[in-house]
Structure 1
Amino acid sequence: TPRHLSSDYPEIIDIFDDPDEIGMHMKKASTHSMPYEMTYEHDTLLDRPPMNQERFDHLYGHKHGEPEARRRLKKTGMRYIHPFTSCAAFKRFLVAFFPILQWLPHYSFKSNIIYDILGGITVGVMNVPQGIAYASLAGLPAVCGLYVSFLPPLVYLIFGTSRHNSISAFSVVCLMTGLAVERFTDTSNPKYNETVAFIDDPAMLPTPTEVATSLTMLVAFINLAMALLRLEFLMTYLSDQVVSAFTTAATVHVLVSQIPDALGITGMVKHDGENGYLVMNLYEIIIRIPNVNLYTCGISLFSIVFLLLGKEVVARLLARFLNFHYALPYELLLIIITTVCSYFIGFSSPPFNVKTVGSISTGLVMPTVPRFDLMPSLIGDALTITLVAYALHISLGRTFAKNHDYELDDNQELLALGFMSAVSSFFPVYPPACSLSRSVINNKIGTKTPLSNFFAAGIVLSTILFLATYLEPLPKPVLSCIVLVALYAVLLKFKDLIALWPVSKIDFSIWAVSFLATVFIDVTPGLIISMLYALFTAIAREQWPLWHLLGGVHGNLDFEEAGRYQSVSFFQEICLFRFDSPLLFMNAHRFKKCVQKALRQWEHENLILRVDKLSISMNGGPEKELEEDEIPEYTRHLVIDCSGFTFVDYMGISTLKELFLEMHNRNVLVYFAAAKAPVRDLFARSGFHEQVPKSNFYPTMRDAVAVARTRETKCAILNKKFSVDILDGLSEVTTVSM
């Protein structure tokens, strides 16, 4: 056990019985110190005596916190038990579980109903053509696009907490659904035989709708399981850069998939399911361009020009000259015009030979149970769709909630997505998701509550019951063009790269890797690669974090990074060091190297001011960095700012022990300052203090620096040379008598 300074060197303590005398001697020491030493205008650094952590805890009644694992387990258990402890608690649980019970009883018809009706009707009118178009993208009958725009919004109305998110079809989800459907139904798909190998009876081979409904139910199971286990935090691994790049890359896949229908190309050999299939499909399109259907191309050209003129030109003119800012349903107008033309001209017959939508059933269908035997083969697709749909949904929902000052419950949104997928899976649907374009329209119109979903579903229901059969002559290239134009806004996310480059090269690389992997490999592997690369960059940033030498700021009691401020100076014989990261197995060795490098750099800076710079740097050349064995013996104090240690693992603890003993052998006192309470508790449980005394921990950097400066001042006055024995004694000093 180290010897105590007060017993072996009583004359040192006796010198400083008076607080004013401490300040006087600190000032006296500062007047004789080197130019780089920090001085203070005040006599003391703190409004209380400087002390170590052990003394601080004793004086102010430190309480040991409950272990984090036990606290979380108790909180999780109470979350499921508390609702059944009383009638009032159960009522609160029901209101939280059904958010509609929170806002519907207080609904203001006078101020809200007009906006909700207008938003619902506008979105509902857009849902009809886009739902049919996206059903075609997923390789499903058109009626599936109508049902996915009818049932999910009604369920979300009951369970959802976002006022602006529009629930129906989303292009990227439809693309991924289409890839799953093709594996089960397209005999030319390379993975077809492998996928359906478990089905012995050919009569049991699934239809595209059966695959889609089974996939929807599986997505519901995953959403509900994540909500029950409170796993919404997993979405944090889908950073904004990953989501932006992935959706943009998936949009490229969608664009390529729509080109054949837009140009009337037939006889293509599809390569869906193979890695790099997008490039192969693009090659198939290029070599078949001489065989395009000119009538189909003409319809597509008219459709694209009509939509772009309406959205980009007419809408701006109406807003400028008539102050009309509402979104007109140009897609619906296009469908009406082309359907009428197709009906009277006969686009589907020679010589036109333009593909049309064909038969659409009218009226509500009876619910059927999804095929559970297909689900094991769809787990990968369902996981990918769940992650993408939830990430986009939460990203949009948080944006709207922040702009309009209301709360969005992430876990409740998982429940809402799960329930709406589960209910709708008994009908001909594909997995529903949040639509970017229609949610933006909701926001622009100013919808006030989720009640707008009711009116949107009403528009789609009227189409299912009465109008669907009139859409049978609709040309398919019109649907492809609706998809192509709708994705225009998504492609604008390429601008994110320009914004990311000057801010963060790592985030830029995440976007680029995510985009390239998704485009040139496949959608699902691209998402996996994107997440793994983003996780790798996070680990890399933890493994190679920043570290800083700190100095005192003249005129106040702060400690800042050396070189950041002109008025920051080093203390004589006191090195201040900070490591901006948790101390884990991946960076523990680097931490030790950084401390050694910091000491060398600190001593280097000291020597530059102790001797003529010309003796170190010849002819203006670079200054020589001191090697580890060149550190002078007069280095006395190393203060480690532990505020960056949010967590320390076993290897980190071992590294701190090694560092402490190594510094002790070099006549260097080590001070640990500002360590967080959970980290200190971890040290206590691990036996860390068997080798590193508690007295070496300090509640703040000011305490540690004050004690270090006091020790330096006392020994300077006594004119005694430091030795290991004296350092042993000094290491136990907890405070100064005042």
Structure 2
Amino acid sequence: MTHGNDCCTTAEDGAESDQQQPLILERVEKEAGKSCKTVVLQRLKKHCSCTPKKAKSKILGFFPILKWLPRYQLRDWLLGDVMSGLIVGILLVPQSIAYSLLASQDPIYGLYTSFFSSIIYAVLGSSRHISVGIFGVLCLLVGQVVDRELALAGYLTESSISSNNSAVLLAVQGNGSVGVQCDRSCYAITVGATVTFTAGVYQVLMGIFQVGFVSVYLSDSLLSGFATGASLTILTSQFKYLLGLKIPRPQGWFTLFKTWYSILTNLGNTNICDLVTSLVCLLILIPAKELNDRFKAKLKAPIPFELFVVIIATLASHFGHFNTDYGSGVAGDIPTGFLPPQLPSWSLIPNVAVDAFSIAIVGFAITVSLSEMFAKKHGYKVDANQEMYAIGFCNILPSFFRCFTTSAALTKTLVKESTGMQTQMSGLVSALVLLLVLLVIAPLFYSLQKCVLAVIIVVNLRGALRKFTDIPRMWRINHVDTSIWLVTMLTSSLVNTELGLLVGVLVSAFCVLGRTQQVQVLELGRATTREHYEDLSSYRGLQTHPGVAVFRYEAPLYYANQSMFKKSLYKCVGLDPVKEKTRRLKIKKKKSKQQEGVADATNMKSEKEDEATATVTLMPDEKSSLRSIVIDCSAVLFLDTAGVNALKEVRKDYGELGVKVVLAQCNTSVLDTLERGGYYPDKKGSDGGESRIVFFTIADAVRYVQSLSAPNGDCDTKH
């Protein structure tokens, strides 16, 4: 960086002189500090006082249905809500049965889960559009916990038990007692309900403590990568049903490789009936679903091909005796009605507490992201904390009725939106459809093959698996987001699903920190006709000021990047004050030795050559022209103690070389931190008054530092 000789000219008229006066603003005086007791009492009075108006507001906020139901427009909204509710309810029947398989539960529990979650979210949810129910990723996570606990409890593996779950052991029941007979199915739903209850408690506690904002830390690329990685795991887990293999679900890390190893080593045991049925259903459902997607704009409602396939496959299995004659796995007995409520197993909570926390985070993040997306699309607002309450109670209350974890589901939400729904009344209609199935129709699905349910799960993974085709486009848009997506996806699928979420969060955090650490100091120049400053390396036609260098740092200044800030600034200025001071001290010592006549003539000649060489290398003529440095802090969002100390060091080191450093465009947070951090010297000092000056504009700062070297204290910045 080079700068011309110091020069400035005075203003030619009074008007221009007035314009060059620095902008002065008076800070609003903050209220005097209050004692801790006063603050606590005020907050207690604010949050614990109860007036009729406040009580009504709290009740309406907690039960959003009380807001929209009295204002329900019967003529305009009812038809759309009923149509969307019926269609989604019909779609939920086969999907609820299918995803029960993924969660290692009997089909009836999937129907219970969809029924209760639809009702509870309609009462407590603040979103008008999202559909809450069974979600594939959460079913996978619950199923992994259930299988692990089944193995730890001593239950037989799936390959060793019969289809009617006849294995019976003494196990812990929901009331915590020991010694009650409980078969594999009973213990599986006990574990699933306990996980669901614990996850719901986590979500409600997060709502109570108002931590709904945590969803912003789970970026879209992270959630998308996690969902895609989990989809690969789900796809792999369903191959054993597609082939009719009876192999246990592997536990621990690298389950993808373990599952494929088990599948490949057991290919000889493939059930031909299941394989043929799977291929036929795939050949029907994949083109049918693609047609639904392609013509969804022309169709008033998507055609429920899944339900048609389930009905036809059930009839074929029943009359063809696939279970008895060919050994094909079927859904089995699906009872009607509801089971009495049952408490979760308290003794299991310590075993599943960690798993439930990750499940709670995933369920909440997906629900909030979908609710905010559709609220923005349709022009209304949702409350993230209320969504936390809603999804929490969608897990807590149904867990007493042997349900497993739920969240919002994108596919069903899109169906609801496209079929004309207006309010959560459609969720109540869907619940009525499920109620009809639970009370009357459920036993008719006895002969439904498990491979058909696996096909439904696989076909519904198409959307997540299509993300792989978006990788080139994602890479062109943003390398960092794509890297987060890839790392999260690979970890979730190849290593461990829960670990993938944790790794994704950590990688995202390190990417944010890395971006702030790698920011470089930019030298700014001024536009010819305006007092506007921009990066010299990015725009043409910008001019610098003689003897004054203007720089911008576009990141917060804190402990992690303060060292990089100083290195970048020194490099951009072209003058490292520490090295320059060392160089000057060496020269001073050499001159002192020369004056004392210690060295002989040969050494004197060598020293002069060294000094001349050092002088040429450091270009003192160019650097001596620099008199002032202006640091634009407009992009510095905050400072910490290390950041304040870094600015102190910069000002001190350059000050010892005769270069003045001033700050411009600091926000109030930075100004307050500078004040508290002792950046300004004592007013009694020789330079105390001047060193306390900060400027609201770069132009004011430049004029000020130029005026310090001007003969009459004023200078023109136009060049």
What are the residue-to-residue correspondences of 1:192-211 with 2, within 5 Å?
203=180, 207-211=187-191
Structure-2 change in CA distance of 1:47 and 1:454 (3 Å)? farther
Say if 2:135 and 2:407, in contact at 8 Å, map to a contact too.
yes
1:427 lines up with 2:401 in the alignment: yes
From 509, 521, 524, the equivalent of 2:495 is 521
Q: Which residue in the other structure is 2:660 paired with? A: 669
Please point out which of 237, 240, 243 is paired with 1:260: 240
Match of 2:28 in 1: 62
Give the superposition deviation at 1:509. Answer: 1.3
Q: Say which SS state the counterpart of residue 165 (structure 1) adopts.
A: coil
Change (3 A) 1:89 1:264: same
| Contact residue 556 and residue 636 of structure 2 kept, 8 A | yes
Indicate if the aligned counterparts of 1:82 and 1:89 stay in contact, CA closer than 8 A: no
**1:651 aligns to 2:642 (yes or no):** yes
Displacement, 1:63? 2.3
Indicate the larger mover: 476-485 or 285-294.
Answer: 285-294
| Per-residue deviation, 1:695 | 3.1
CA distance in 2, matches of 1:662, 1:170: 60
Q: Which residue of 1 aligns with 2:12?
A: 24
Determine the structure 2 residue equivalent to 1:300.
Answer: 278
Following TM superposition, by how much is the alpha carbon of 1:360 offset from its aligned partner in structure 2, in angstroms?
Answer: 0.9
> 2:11 touches 2:714 (CA, 8 Å); kept in 1?
no
Shift of 1:22: 4.0
Alignment correspondent of 2:599: none
| Secondary structure at 1:696 match in 2 | coil
Confirm whether residue 231 of structure 1 aligns to residue 211 of structure 2. yes
Task: State the Cα distance separating 1:445 from its structure 2 match.
Answer: 1.5
Question: CA separation of 1:403/1:140 partners in 2, compared to 1, >3 Å: closer, same or farther?
Answer: same
TM-score, normalising length from structure 2? 0.84
CA–CA separation in structure 1 for the residues paired with 2:469 and 2:408: 22
Cα distance, 1:70 vs. partner?
Answer: 8.8
- How far apart, CA to CA, are the structure 2 residues paired with 1:76 and 1:407? 29
Alignment partner of 1:710 out of 697, 707, 710: 707
Alpha-carbon separation, structure 2, partners of 1:336 and 1:677: 67
Bigger Cα displacement from structure 2, 387-396 vs 478-487: 387-396
Q: Give 1:495's aligned amino acid.
A: T
Indicate yes or no: 2:381 matched with 1:401.
no
Residue 490 of structure 1, CA deviation:
1.2
Query: 3-state SS of the aligned residue for 1:413?
Result: helix
Which residue does 1:728 correspond to in 2?
Answer: none
Distance 1:554 1:314, change over 3 A: closer
1:271 to 230, 233, 250: 250
Which one-letter code corresponds to 2:225 in the other structure? A
> For residue 141 of structure 1, what is the aligned residue in structure 2?
106
Residue 399 of structure 1 and its aligned partner are, at CA, apart by 1.5
* CA drift at 1:524: 1.0
The letter of the residue matching 2:256 is L
Q: 1:106 is matched with which residue?
A: 71
The 1:387/1:449 distance shift into structure 2, 3 A limit, reads same
Tell me if the contact between 2:680 and 2:692 (Cα under 8 Å) persists in the aligned partners.
no
Which of 632, 653, 663 is matched with 1:641 structurally? 632
645 and 717 in structure 1: CA distance in 2 versus 1, 3 angstrom threshold: closer
Alpha-carbon contact 1:276-1:521 (below 8 Å) kept: yes
Equivalent position of 1:701 in the other structure = 698
Please give the per-residue CA displacement for 1:18-47, whole angstroms capped at 9, x wherever unaligned: xxx942299xxxxxxxxxxxxxxx935x74
| 1:50 is the counterpart of 2:22 | yes
Alignment partners' CA distance in 2, 1:71 and 1:493: 54
Q: Partner amino acid for 1:170?
A: F
> Unaligned stretches of 5+ in structure 2?
1-7, 158-170, 578-615, 683-687
1:368 paired residue number: 342
Which residue of structure 1 lines up, in the alignment, with residue 315 of structure 2?
340
Q: State how far apart, in whole Å, the 1-side matches of 2:703 and 2:563 are.
A: 29
- Contact map agreement 1:219 1:382 (CA 8 A) in 2: yes
Once the two structures are superposed, residues 550-598 of structure 1 have per-residue CA deviations (whole angstroms, 9 ceiling, x without a partner) of: 1111211211111222121111111111111111111111111121112
Per-residue deviation, residues 150-208 of structure 1 (Å, max 9, x unmatched): 0011111111111121111001100000000011113699999xxx9999956588700
Instruction: Tell me the C-alpha RMSD between the 2 structures.
Output: 3.3
- TM (norm. structure 1) is 0.82
Identity %: 28
TM-superposed CA distance for 1:138, in Å, is: 0.7
**Paired letter, 1:294:** I
Residue 523 of structure 2 aligns to a residue whose secondary structure is strand
Matches within 5 A, 1:412-491: 412-491=386-465
Give the aligned residue type for 1:659: V
Structure 2 residue aligned with 1:222: 202
Instruction: Report SS of the residue matched to 1:210.
Output: helix
Q: CA deviation at 1:513?
A: 0.9
1:418 deviates by 0.9
Aligned to 1:77: 43
Q: Is the 8 A contact 1:188 1:270 kept in 2?
A: no
Deviations 1:419-460 (A, max 9, x none): 111111111111011112111111212311111110011111
Deviation readout 1:217-260 (Å, 9 max, x if unpaired): 10111001111111122222211111001100000000000000
CA distance in 1: counterparts of 2:92 and 2:153, whole angstroms: 32
Return the offset for 1:716. 9.7
* Match status 1:359 vs 2:333: yes
Structure 1 residue 708, shift from structure 2 partner: 2.4
Q: In structure 2, give the amino acid aligned to 1:105.
A: P
Superimposed CA distance per residue, residues 470-513 of structure 1 (whole angstroms, 9 cap, x where no aligned partner): 11111111000000001111111223422221222221211111
Could you tell me how far apart the structure 1 residues matched to 2:36 and 2:304 are?
Answer: 55
CA contact (8 A) 1:177 1:212 kept: yes
Structure 1 stretches lacking a partner, 5+ long: 1-15, 27-41, 604-624, 719-734
Aligned AA for 1:357? A
Relative to 1, partners in 2 of residues 1:678 and 1:85: Cα closer, same or farther, differing over 3 Å?
A: farther
Task: Measure, in 2, the Cα distance between the counterparts of 1:69 and 1:656.
Answer: 33
Q: CA deviation at 1:288?
A: 2.0
Deviation at 1:530, TM superposition (A): 1.4
Tell whether the 8 Å contact from 1:83 to 1:90 is kept in structure 2 after alignment: no
Does residue 330 in structure 1 map to residue 305 in structure 2?
yes
Q: Secondary structure at the match of 1:148?
A: helix
Q: Name the SS for the 2:330 alignment partner.
A: coil
What amino acid is the match of 1:298? V
d(CA) in 2 for partners of 1:531, 1:626: 48
Distance 1:231 1:129 in 2: 36
Say if 1:354 and 1:475, in contact at 8 Å, map to a contact too.
yes
Q: C-alpha distance in 1, partners of 2:192/2:155?
A: 20
Report how many residues are paired. 649
Distance 1:478 1:440, change over 3 A: same
Amino acid at match of 1:340: L
1:29 aligns to what?
none
CA deviations 1:631-656 (Å, max 9, x no partner) are 62221110011112211111111111
Equivalent positions of 1:493-572 (< 5 A) are 493-572=467-546
Secondary structure in 2 aligned to 1:24?
Answer: coil
TM alignment of 1:566-605, pairs within 5 A: 566-600=540-574
Q: CA deviation at 1:61?
A: 5.1
Q: Secondary structure at the match of 1:551?
A: strand
Residues 637-646 or 453-462, more deviating: 637-646
C-alpha distance in 1 between matches for 2:102 and 2:111: 14
Instruction: State the alpha-carbon separation in 1 of the partners of residues 381 and 548 from structure 2.
Output: 49
Partner of residue 731, structure 1: none
